[in-house]
Amino acid sequence: MRPTAKTPIGIALAAFLTLTTVACGDSSSGGSGGQAGSGPQIGIDLPRADSDFWNSYAKYVPQFADEYDVNLMSPTNSQNDVSKLVANVQAMVSQGAKAVVMAPQDTGAIASTLGTLESRKIPVVSVDTRPDKGKVFMVVRADNRAYGQKACEFLGEKLGGKGKVIEFQGSLSSINGRDRSEAFAECMKTKFPGITIFEEPTEWEGAKAAAALQTRLAQHPDIKGVYMQAGGVFLAPTLQVLRSKNLLVPPTDPKHIFIVSNDGIPQEFEAIRKGEIDATVSQPADLYAKWALYYAKAAAEGKTFQPGPTDHDSTIIDIGNGLEDQLAAPLVTKENVDDPALWGNQIGK
């Protein structure tokens, strides 16, 4: 299955920065070494190793590098540090990368690096996050506003339109954190004005989410809903706090706190089966790796794409500084948690 290669994208941005050769940052990737495929060298940076979601993504990278015969350099891992990401990218370029795959967690701070890469005519594929500025060849991402919308509708219906909900917001310096938070808030205000939301910024850190949950439950023991914007980092600490307070009870128990998450990792699926959480939006870790590597190789080979439907159940849109392939991300509940098509039921098998 392939999108159709057609017209060039975007207008070149002026860039005056010069790359210097630096040592690569932390190269522990959670995956494997480089893949000796054909064609131009492709560099890839993994954003962090403290998230079950991103560790799952890392496992898919060598699989799809093999499938597309990608000449993949050894992956680096920037450990949620934009300075390490910049250093890793500089090292990739000095070593001959002709395209770069990255997932910048701070979507504002990467702009100058994108400008530098554009000046070198090195295309960039951004995974999961959309840089605020700077040209990208393609963003491979799901509709993050839909994440917040789906979470709002699920909790709003479960709570009958009234009560209190705590929201673990991702970093608001990230387009993902902003999209999910804004969509969740707008939906609640419009559809469920009787629900009070406690917004807790976390910078995608599980410890901050756990501390916020402890504090809010002490102040408001009648909280009945939780929205976790990233199950990969928030699931374990959230369950630990609820267990310590004897609140980890089945949905049929009046003390049950309804929880909806984002990621779609196997651990979330198991928690849904146990009745510990109630839903998650399955963020496609497998498709992120698949299409990121496909587009990176295509870009390095001079192929181009245009907005419109693809042949893999997604839509490419124009985002001004490039294109974005918006992949499907279904809501998973106890009704469909055992669907074998979900990547969370496939990985490791």
* All domains of the chain in start order, with CATH: 35-142+284-329 (3.40.50.2300), 144-282 (3.40.50.2300)
pTM score, whole prediction = 0.80
Residue 29 is predicted with a pLDDT of 39
Asked whether the predicted pLDDT for residue 196 surpasses 70, the reply is yes
Q: What is the pLDDT of residues 264-293, one digit of tens each?
A: 999 999 999 999 999 999 999 999 999 999
Beta bridge partners of 279: 260
Percent of the chain with pLDDT over 70: 89
The two three-digit tokens of residue 180, written as one number: 């999910």
Beta bridge partners of 324: 139, 317
Q: What is the pLDDT of residues 9-18, one digit of tens each?
A: 332 323 323 3
Q: End-to-end CA distance of the chain, in Å?
A: 23
Asked whether the predicted pLDDT for residue 346 surpasses 80, the reply is yes
Q: Helix, strand or coil for residue 251?
A: coil
Residue 35 is predicted with a pLDDT of 64
Distance, C-alpha 292 to centroid of its chain: 13
Q: Give the count of beta carbons closer than 10 Å to the beta carbon of residue 38.
A: 9
Residue 338 is predicted with a pLDDT of 97
Residue 39 is predicted with a pLDDT of 87
Residues in contact with 79: Cβ distance below 8 Å, sequence separation at least 6, in sequence order: 25, 26, 48, 49, 50
Asked whether the predicted pLDDT for residue 83 surpasses 90, the reply is yes
Beta 331-332 vs 279-282: how paired, if at all? antiparallel
Higher model confidence: residue 19 or residue 297?
Answer: 297
Higher model confidence: residue 38 or residue 15?
Answer: 38
Do 330 and 324 form a contact (C-beta atoms < 8 A)?
no
Q: Give dist(CA 136, CA 154) in Å, integer.
A: 34
**Confidence class for position 78, pLDDT limits 50, 70, 90:** very high
Radius of gyration (C-alpha) of the chain in whole angstroms: 20
Query: Would you say how long the chain is, in residues?
Result: 349
Residue 267 is predicted with a pLDDT of 95
- Phi/psi at 272 (5° precision): -65, -45
Asked whether the predicted pLDDT for residue 1 surpasses 60, the reply is no
Report, as an integer, the average pLDDT of 146-155. Answer: 96
Question: What b/e readout covers 6-37, taking b as 16+ CB neighbours within 10 angstroms?
Answer: eeebbeeeebeeebeeeebbeeebbbeebbeb
Q: Which H/E stretch holds residue 324?
A: strand 323-327
Mean pLDDT of the chain, nearest integer: 90
Look at residues 89, 149, 161, 160 and name the one whose alpha carbon lies nearest to residue 125: 89
